[in-house]
Every structure is written in structure tokens, then in C-alpha cells.
Amino acid sequence: MSKTKSTPKKDDRMFLEALRKKFKENPEDKYTKFYIYGGWKQSKRKTEFVEWSKKMSKERGIPFYNPDMHLGGITVGQRVLMPYRISGTDIYVEGDDLHFINNAAMQQMWHDMRRTIISGLDAAHTVLQKRLGKEVTPETLNHYIEVLNHALPGAAVIQEHMVETHPGLVADSYVKVFTGDDELADEIDDRFLIDINKEFPKDQAEQLKAAVGKRLYQVCRMPTLVAMTCDGGTMSRWAAMQISMSMINAYKLMAGEAAVGEFAFAAKHAEMIEMGTLMPWRRARGPNEPGGIPLGFVADMCQASRVKPDDPCWCALEAISMGAVLYDQFWFGSYMSGGVGFTQYATCTYTDDILDDYCYYGMDYVKKKFGGMAKKKPDWDLIKDVATEVTLYGLEQYEKYPALMETHFGGSQRAAVVAAGAGVAVSIATGHSTAGINGWYLSQLLHKEELGRLGFYGYDQQDQCGSANSFSWRSDEGLPFNLRGVNYPNYALNVGHQSAHVGIIQAAHSARADAWTTNPLIKIAFADKDLRFDFAHPRLCFGKGALREFMPAGERSLVIPSR
Amino acid sequence: MANFKAQYYPGSTAISKNRRRYIDPNYKLEKLRTISDEDLVSVMGHRVPGEAYKSTHPPLDELGEPACPIREMVEPTPGAKAGDRIRYIQFTDSVYFAPVTPYMRAWMGHTRYRSADIGVLSGRVPLEMRERDLEKVAKELVETEVFDPARVGIRGATVHGHALRLDENGMMFDALRRFRFDKKSGEVVYDKDQVGVPLDKPVSVGKPIPEDELRKRTSEFRVDGVPFRDDKELIGFIQRIHMLRTMAGFDPNGVKGI
């Protein structure tokens, strides 16, 4: 902790521009006016909602959206209904534009995660060669992948009288492969290859190729329409069925002989990697649903570390935005609770450059104090120093800028953002995500005592247990924290944490210049320019979704009446 | 344990001292205003003033309780004896030098009042008790120094305001406009009850505490008041708690010298 009051340079804080635009007042003013803004009518988006509601109410004959029903006519908007800047961009949006129902990019991010299955090919190739005596060559391999690109979107390959899917509806479905073996990669048709050498900076590519070795993996993307209409558990089944059928076709096998079962077993189980695992009964969901996706997997899905490898803060912030949408908005906000309240809460981590300011403040502090990133092994004095300093800095900003305090008008928002800044800074200092999460928990305790308040009941419970559980399970052997997720018992009850935890993981590994955080296969699988969602620039993509400039997959216009 | 003397709260600054005072049940909260029972009951909105208390069970005397050592040890509160309903009062405390913060309000309640169930959120603190017990406690909470008419709100729902800027009269935002500053009298007046139901007649809760006086009484750290950074004792205490919890989670045998 620094000995003097923290006042970094002049007023170069990153959030000030957004605050000025949000309120059109001096962010340091403590006084303002209320009740004069016209309620919901001050919002273009809500005005649009009212117009549509009137139209649709007539059409359906049932009363519909009517903000004048809010608290007996006291509508939202008794104060300024502030717009939000998408952090790291120049895009300003209304809060409504960040609800996933209103944002096609957010939907697509989730669909792209859910519809992905990684499946190894080595077991299948062993069966083909050793048990069936078939030759596997670059030619047969490319032929097989082409067959699967026909079959995976929903086409027949064996039987001669079958229904099939309209290619115009499922054009986002395909299969690609990757390997760590440059010679093998050279033999694969470029159209099917995720080329590690091309997609990643050189040092990251070397790390990834060494991790993958000579193994060959296929990345299957099921159609977005399947992701929209079925569940995550569908994906491995859909992929395995079409993989097995394509093997039969490509290698001229008997349909149904025992060996074919080996392909199915390999595709469905032995060589199959899901994005998320099955959840227990009390939160029952199938595989490839948000609750089963580990924090570190989300960090690896985010591709910012390919684009800005030297900026751990940027990488962490981009990853955090994905975690916020996936965990806070989809999982907690909808799967676990329903309604609309969680969006208001979740967006604090990726709007108005506030968390950005705290993270960069922390990174600067670390660089000055320790001479660079990931230079120090985790120790108690470091965690105490860095987490305390960043926490105090963050809290002081709220006290100095009343407009900032008003922007994060819920304590849970402030607690999430301040602790995220502290955790990211400790991660950057140590290159150790478990040290980072411990810094987060120290931040929560300090925050609670400074303001005499924190979040809501559940928020406080989780964060007052955290000191004790951050190093409690084999933390000296690896990074089990990276494998936690919203299914971790203490994390199952509250929004606003796991988004930041994704960033704490990402920051640690980016500070170390690691190519991935938890699973190299997932990192490579999402280095795919043909995905609809831009995993390298998620915040920009969410902004495009908010501006209605993002074109998703899964549109049904080909099979519905035109309007 | 016989020699244990409760310290209530660590810290060396005036804010920490205020926190200690409020939590310490031996400290008598200073009375600053008088609110009639009738007015307070109106603002709380659970019953019409003068109306009998509703009950959820017969009086304990008539109920015939089973033999139980705990029941023998614990004297029921008057509300429990009578079978009153559990009702609530909920406060919103502004970040701008309100006398108490949500956690202080809860800890104060736990040390001072029997049978109170208190929750803590960032923007509101519900306190639930048997109705007649609640009214007694609520009177102390509204009439003494832990209440400021402008920076503390009595709000059952739609509570947002604690973190918002103040209006031109120094009042905390209230979307439902339950209270207002009456320029003529200089007092804060409630026109609606806790959940926004209009009152038959306005209820005054007195004049706002002057700003300089509020800053003396507050238990809130702020950079424009007493900065948290200045309270090294408190910060060190929190860091130590965190370290001990962390160590205990990693290796309980490694925790020494507590």
C-alpha cells in the first residue's frame, strides 16, 4: 500500500469521458436534480418499446409492455436513465441494448460456445489401421473431412432416402482440424485447417504446438439453430452421429459392424472434449451448458491474448466481458433466476471504462514496484500490498466522483469491480491466478469495512468465506482455481463474481506470456475466423450487437413467411 | 473469558470511534427529535394508529408450551408473549455522511436489541421483529442520532438512493418521493409510508442534521471526510483477519500466535 493518498497524475482517469457523456454534468458534483427527466420518455429505446407494444397489443389482443404500470405510474427514469459506453470502444448504448434478448451478438457468443465439440481423431485412425486394415493418408483424411462438412450441418451420407437440412439455414455448421505437427498440418487442405502458426504469435504457437504434439483434433460446430432449439447435451450426440456416419462413408465400412461402435465411442466419450460438464441434480443441466463451463475454459475461448499479447489488462478485460455475459447474464440472470435484473448488475464490468481504469492502475503500480509483470512469486506481503492499494484506489474514486458512485449505484457492482481490479493486479504481479483470487477476497473484506456495506446478502456470504477457501485444496500443486466455475458450491449463488474471476485467471497467464490458461485445445479451437462471434474482440462485438450491426447465424427467414 | 472485555470495533480514527460507540450497548444513543407513536406507526404502515395488534398465534400463556430448558432460560419479548406478527422497518443510508452504514446498523441492532432479525444489503437494512417490539426499537432508531431525516430513508421497496448524488436540498434520492424537504418549515416530511402508500396526513421527521454536525456523527469513511487510508490500525486488522483465514484454509496447523 502506498503511504500517500493516491492521486494518479492529473485527471487522466479512463472513466471520466464516459461519466461526462452519461450525465452531462461535472462528475465531481455532489448535487443534482431529480424527477424532471420525463420518466421513460427520456429513453429512445423505451419509447421504441412502447410503440411496438401498442402495435403488438392490438395484434395479439392481450395487454403488453406498459411502463406506466411501474409502481402505479411512477415509472423508471425519475433520475437520468444513463447510457453506457462499452469499455475499450467508442460505442455508447442504452442499458436495454445489453440485455441478451436485445443483443444478437451476446446470443451468438453463447451459441458458438454451446455448439462446439472437440473430438480427437487418433483413436479412430488406430481402429481404421490396426483393426480394419485401412490405410489413413492425407488424401483419405481430407476426403473424410469434406464428407463430414457435408454431413455435420445435417445431411445424409449412407442411406439413400433421407430428409436433410436446408444449407441456407445451417451454413454456420462445419468441421475443422488442428494438430501440433507442422508436417501433418501441411498435408491438410487449408480450408479445413486451424493453422496454429498463422493464428498465434510465434512464441504462443510454439507453446501450443508442443502441448498438442502430433495428435490430430477435429473441432465440430453444430448449427446455431440446433443450439437454439435443442440443448448443450445434444452437441456431442449430433457430432458423434455425423462423425461415425462420415467415417463409414469415407472409409467404405460396413454400417453397423462392431468396429463402427469404436468410432461412436471415441467420438462420444473417449476422445470427446465438451466445453462444459454435466451438472448435479440441484442445478440440473446437461453438458455444454454455462453452469458446467470452467472459468479457465472461458478465458481460453477468449482470443484477445492472440491480438494483444503484451497487454494482460486488455486480455483480462475482454475475457471478463465474456464471463459477464455467459455467467452473469445467461446463467445467473436467466437459467438460475429469470427476469431482467441481473443485466443491470453484470454490465458494470465491461462498461464505462471503470474496471479498465482500476486494472491499468494496478498494472502500473505493479510494474513500478516490482520492475515488471510476473516478476515475483506469490507471497503474503505482496498480496497484502497490491490488493490493498488497488482496493483503496478504487473506493476513493467512488468517493471523489459522485457520478461514478451513481453509475455503480448498487454495492454489488462496486464490490465486483473493485475486487476485480485488485485480483487482476495481484495476478499480474505474480503470474499466479490463485494468488489473484486471494487478492480479490482481501479486497472484499477491506471494502466491507471501508464503506460499511458490500453487496447483497448472498454476495457477502460468498466473499467472507473466500479467504479461507482460496488456497484450501491442493493449491501448492497446480491451479485448481482455473477449473472452478459457477457450479463450485460457494459460487453457485451469486452473480457478479465469475466474470471477474475469468479475468483474474487470464491476467495471471498473460503476465507470464502463456499461450493459454487451462486447456490449449480450447484456445486453438476458438482461434477460428469463421465463427460468427468475434472471440478476439468480444466487447466490440457486444457493442455491434447493441447497435444492431451484428448479423447472427440461425436466422429462419428462408422457411417463414416474409413480413 | 471471565476477563474478556468487548472492544466492539478496531481502528484509531474518529470514524472507528463512532462505530464503537454505536455498537456498544452501554453507550446511550443521543436523542435528537421526537416523533409521536402515531406518526411512526403511520410511516411504517403495518397497522392503523390505535388499531389492535394482529396476532399469528394465541398468547404464549394460553398456548401451553412444552417443558423446555431453553424456553425456561429465555424470557419471551412482549410481542412474542402476545403472539404478534413479525413486521419490519427498513432503512436506506446514504453514502454521503449518513450517521450509520448498513453493517453498523446490523451490528448495533445485534448488540442492542433482543429478537431482531436484521439483514444487510448495500442499499437497505431490513429489521424484522414482533410488531410491538419493533415499534419500540423503531422509535429509538428514528428519534436518535443514528437517523438523519435527509440522508436516511424509511423505505420498504424501491430503495435505490444510497449511492446517488443528493438533490438541491441535500436530500437523498427517492424514486417514490415518499419524503420531501419542506422549505417553509425546514423539516423533512413523509407523504407516503414505507412502501409508497399515501398517508392521510403528512408526517414530519424533523430538520436535517447540519452538514458539519453530520460529519462528526457519521460512521462512514470518505476521502472528503476521514479517509479510510488514514486508519492504519483498522486496515492492518482486516489484513490480519484475511491472512489468518487464508492460512487456516491452507494449513490449519500453520496458524500460530492468535
How far apart CA A173 and CA A153 sit, in angstroms, is 5
**B245 domain residue, yes or no:** yes
Residues B144 and B139: their CA atoms lie apart, in Å, by: 8
Q: Give the distance from residue A493's alpha carbon to the nearest chain B alpha carbon, in angstroms.
A: 15
pLDDT at A284: 87
Contact A420, A319 (CB under 8 A): no
Q: Give the helix/strand (H/E) hosting A247.
A: helix A233-250
C-alpha cell at position A512: 507470464
Per-residue pLDDT band at A498 (split at 50, 70, 90): very high
User: For B181, phi and psi rounded to 5 degrees?
Assistant: -90, 120
Note whether B196 contacts A395, CB cutoff 8 Å. no
Q: Is residue B72 part of a domain?
A: no
Q: Does residue B96 belong to the interface with chain A, where contact is any CB pair within 8 Å?
A: yes
- Write out the residue range of the structural domain in which residue B218 sits: 14-55+84-250
| pLDDT at residue A251 in the model | 95
| B-chain residues near A411 (CB < 8 A) | 121-123, 163
Predicted pLDDT at B1: 60
**Predicted local distance difference test score (pLDDT) of residue A259:** 86
Q: Residue A1's closest chain B neighbor by CA? A: B229
Count of Cβ atoms closer than 10 Å to residue A201 Cβ: 15
C-beta atoms of A470 and B248 within 8 A: no
Name which residue leads in pLDDT, B227 or B64: B227
User: Above 80 in pLDDT, residue A563?
Assistant: no
Contact call for residues A465 and A430 (beta carbons, < 8 A): no
Helices (H), A10-137: 16-23, 44-60, 104-114, 122-126
How many residues in chain A? 563
Q: Report yes or no: A438 at the B interface, CB cutoff 8 Å.
A: yes
Residue B187's CATH number: 3.90.320.20
**Tens-place pLDDT, residues A364-414:** 999 999 999 999 999 999 999 999 999 999 999 999 999 999 999 999 999
- Suggest the residue from B169, B195, B229 to mutate for an interface test with chain A (most A CBs closer than 10 A): B229
Helix, coil or strand: residue A52: helix
* Predicted pLDDT of residue A1: 59
**Start-end of H helices in A401-497:** 402-407, 411-430, 433-451, 457-469
Task: Look at residue A546 and tell me whether its pLDDT is greater than 60.
Answer: yes
The pLDDT value given to residue A338? 82
Residue B111 lies inside a defined structural domain of this protein: yes
Q: Over 90: is that where the pLDDT of A4 sits?
A: no
Residues B187-229 have pLDDT tens digits of: 999 999 999 999 999 999 999 999 999 999 999 999 999 999 9
Give the CA radius of gyration of chain B.
21
What does each C-alpha distance from A161 to A155, A157, A158, A164 come to in angstroms? 11, 10, 9, 10
In a domain, B171, yes or no: yes
Tell me, yes or no, if B95 comes closer than 8 A to chain A by beta carbon.
yes
Q: Is the dihedral of CA A82, A85, A90, A92 positive or negative?
A: negative
Number of domains making up chain B: 1
CB A194 within 8 Å of CB A176: yes
Contact across the interface for B227 and A400, Cβ inside 8 Å: no
Cβ neighbors of A176 (< 8 A, separation 6 or more) are: A192, A193, A194, A218, A219, A528, A530
- The answer to whether residue B105 sits within a structural domain is yes
The pLDDT value recorded for residue B10 is 97
Residues 12-71 of A with CB under 8 A from B: 29-35, 71
Q: Is A162 on the interface with B (CB under 8 A)?
A: no
**Interface check B83 vs A, CB under 8 A:** no
Q: What is the mean pLDDT of residues A310-329?
A: 98
- A228-254 pLDDT, tens per residue? 999 999 999 999 999 999 999 999 998
Please give the average per-residue pLDDT across B48-52, as a whole number. 96
- Please report whether residue B129 resides in a domain: yes
d(CA B168, CA B252): 54
CB-nearest partner of B227 from A5, A403, A476: A5
pLDDT of residue A257: 87
pLDDT in tens, A455-493: 987 778 889 899 999 999 888 889 999 999 998 988 887
Cβ <8 Å between B122 and A456: yes
Q: How far is CA A293 from CA A61, A130, A131, B27, B55, in A?
A: 42, 36, 36, 52, 50
The DSSP symbol for A70 reads G
Least confident of A237-241, A423-427, A493-497, B73-77: A493-497
Query: Containing H/E element for A304?
Result: helix A304-307
Using a CB-CB distance cutoff of 8 angstroms, which residues of chain A are in contact with residue B224? 399-400
Provide the 8-state DSSP code for B166. Answer: B
Q: What is the structure's pLDDT at A7?
A: 47
Q: Sign (positive/negative) of CA torsion A301, A304, A310, A311?
A: negative
pLDDT score of A263: 83
Report which secondary-structure segment, H or E, holds A217.
strand A216-221
On whether residue B180 sits in a domain, the answer given is yes
- The three three-digit cell numbers of residue A31, written as one number: 448535487
User: Which pLDDT tens digit goes with each residue over A295-312?
Assistant: 999 999 999 999 999 999
Cβ atoms of B202 and B211 closer than 8 Å: no
Mean pLDDT of chain A: 95
Could you read off the pLDDT of B95-127 as tens digits, one per residue?
999 999 999 999 999 999 999 999 999 999 999
- Report how far apart, in Å, the C-alpha atoms of A291 and of each of A280, A310, A493 are: 10, 31, 11
Predicted structure pTM score: 0.96
Q: What is the pLDDT of residue A476?
A: 87
For residue A221, give the H/E element and its range: strand A216-221
Nearest to A452 among B104, B123, B160 (CB): B104
Q: Which residues in chain B are closer than 8 Å to A414, comparing Cβ atoms?
A: 122, 163
Whether B95 and A472 lie within 8 Å, measured CB to CB: no
Q: List, in order, residues 6 or more apart from B23 with CB less than 8 Å away.
A: B8, B9, B104, B107, B108, B111
Tell me, what's the pLDDT at A9?
A: 54
To the nearest whole number, what is the mean pLDDT of chain B? 96
HEC letters along A345-375:
HHHHHCECCHHHHHHHHHHHHHHHHHCCCCC
pLDDT score for B26? 96
CA atoms within 13 A of residue A86's CA, in its CB half-sphere: 23
Dihedral angle sign, alpha carbons of residues A166, A167, A168, A169: positive
Residues of A in contact with B109 (CB under 8 A): none
Q: Which active-site residues of A does the annotation give? A: 159, 345, 458, 494
Q: What is the ipTM of this complex?
A: 0.97
pLDDT, position A256? 83
Q: Is B126 on the interface with A (CB under 8 A)?
A: no
B residues 176-215 near A, CB within 8 Å? 176-177, 196
- Strand, coil or helix: A118: strand
Beta carbons of B238 and A445 less than 8 Å apart? yes
Asked if B165 lies within 8 A of A31 by C-beta distance, the reply is yes
Q: Does A462 contact chain B (CB < 8 Å)? A: no
Which range, of A395-399, B14-18, B141-145, B249-253, averages the lowest pLDDT? B249-253
Closest B-chain CA to A29: B165
Beta carbons of A396 and B241 less than 8 Å apart:
no
Q: What is the pLDDT of residues A95-131, one digit of tens each?
A: 999 999 999 999 999 999 999 999 999 999 999 999 9
